[in-house]
Amino acid sequence: MSDLPDCPKCDSDYVYQDDHILICPECSYEWTADTTTDKSEYSDEIRDANGNILQDGDTVTVIKDLKVKGSSLVVKVGTKVKNIRLVDGDHDIDCKIDGIGAMKLKSQFVKKV
């Protein structure tokens, strides 16, 4: 797993990381890893049940019967949900389901189409 950036000085891709320091073995340039935003980007990613990254506007299907909070309605397995919107929180998908209306889903219970 090498998601380290290339050396900014000589463009080498043999860069390695030592604690918070990135080191280029070719020109021995050293710099701090804190300038990269990769880590925070990764933690913001919302993934479906298969580990695929979800994005606003995606279409997903529900992989598990889900009770709709505060009603007797159930979102059935295989229900297609179009145009999802990712949000923060425990239920990280905002969407509108035909016959049910606006609701929130958990990304672990959906699969990207």
**Residues near Zn ion, by CB under 5 A:** 7, 9-10, 12, 24, 26-27, 29
Q: Among 78, 75, 113, which Cα is nearest to 97's?
A: 75
* Residue 31 C-beta: closest distance to Zn ion, Å: 10
Asked if 85 contacts 56 with a C-beta cutoff of 8 angstroms, the reply is yes
When the beta carbons of 27 and 113 are compared against Zn ion, the nearer one is 27
When the beta carbons of 24 and 110 are compared against Zn ion, the nearer one is 24
* Residue 39 C-beta: closest distance to Zn ion, Å: 22
When the beta carbons of 26 and 65 are compared against Zn ion, the nearer one is 26
Give the 3-state DSSP-derived string for 42-96, with helices as H, strands as E and coil as C: HHHCCECCCCCECCCCCCEEECCCEECCCCCCEECCCCEECCCEECCCCCCEEEE
* Residue 38 C-beta: closest distance to Zn ion, Å: 19
